[in-house]
Structure 1
């Protein structure tokens, strides 16, 4: 019997990362989830990450503690209002919005690389998309390719020839609707996930931030209602 290959899966608790975790599991990997408490303004997404990890199944779940608030620069880590919109058509002008956290995916992937080397894993999964997104520069294919090239010269395991790291971004060319359909085909329960940038104190999604609107449009294109807006608030 072939031993399963280990993989590190970046798991925020959102729709995309839940889908990617399900994909890694379906492709036969032994997934080790990695989430972050990075100074984000709400903890509800980490509660969602725990629910998703339990539901889909992981072989380990690490929550790393870092504090990106020391730099600020984002509505997610500083005292800056999260922008709200009338519709998803207003989102994605090509410029990174104020919800962009400077270099966040670079930081997260660097931690994932360290975790992968410790595990003896050569595979990292990340749920970025360059189709339905808000203009974040670290969600583009050229960023993923550049980080993968960096990883191949940045670790002892790579230099020794025991790691040939591959960064998997299986959603990068999918629309939000296509991502949701892929997850539904794999049995993902999206009511467990949380994507909102500006939830209520009770953890309910606002429905009007860029993340909520892009997610909601994806469900609507499939003739579905986003369970984050339809379901009761889940705080644990």
Structure 2
């Protein structure tokens, strides 16, 4: 009886896990929050599918209860440098340039797709939360990483599920949304995130390029903190 009561008091959570710096930090945060963590990653035929290896490694070392990989093909219509080889991944852009417009690495409606899968998974396993590592402050400007978007999706979670209509809606938790990249790294340091197992590069090669937007943002943040990123890179931040 006591064991069953403890199990009922544990918060079950689905964690969107790409294997990158942000989502890995979120998984570790969910563990600290006392959650029973069910990680979900997506093989959508992205250029940088190398990130899935990191997602698997992070899920294992963090002690996720389960790690699901959902496969589908967003190359069917492309529309992004991450899903269409005819669109080049931007490189050697300054942080100011990154902040000027939504980049071609934006994948149309990606977080809406991801959150829909996570919601279905969460309701099926009777989870109370879905964690996502969106961040609205540092340069990318993706429309599906902003607070108003998360608020709107929270309403979808309430209206679009049996659990939302008849009980307590599944909660979207976005602990990084108002943090700078340096603050995310500091949080991850405190949580013990193994940065050497994470992956951020967009180019899809075996070694991180060091010059795509994602690499430059990551390297700049480590540099600002006076730290060395443990990942090897083909090129270093200039």
Instruction: State the TM-score bracket (shorter-chain normalisation).
Output: over 0.9
1:8-87 residue pairs with structure 2 within 5 A?
8-79=14-85, 80-87=87-94
Write the distance in 2 (CA, Å) between the matches of 1:86 and 1:159. 46
* Contact preservation (8 Å) 1:76, 1:82: yes
Alignment partner of 1:171 out of 159, 176, 189: 176
Is 1:136 the counterpart of 2:142? The answer is: yes
Superposed CA deviations along residues 161-200 of structure 1, whole A, max 9, x for unmatched, are 1x42210100000000000010010111101000100143
Superposed CA deviations along residues 86-128 of structure 1, whole A, max 9, x for unmatched, are 43343221x2110000000000000000000001012000001
1:108-147 residue pairs with structure 2 within 5 A?
108-147=114-153
- 1:210 corresponds in structure 2 to 213
* Contact preservation (8 Å) 1:37, 1:65: yes
Report the alpha carbon displacement of residue 207 of structure 1 after superposing the two structures with TM. Answer: 0.7
- 2:197 corresponds in structure 1 to 192
TM-score of the pair, normalised by structure 2 = 0.92
RMSD over aligned CA atoms reads 1.4
- 2:110 corresponds in structure 1 to 104
The 4+ residue runs of structure 1 with deviation greater than 6 A are none
Write the distance in 2 (CA, Å) between the matches of 1:88 and 1:119. 41
TM-score of the pair, normalised by structure 1 = 0.92
Structure 2 runs not aligned, ≥5 long = none
- 2:157 corresponds in structure 1 to 151
Q: Per the alignment, in what secondary structure is the counterpart of residue 189 of structure 2?
A: helix
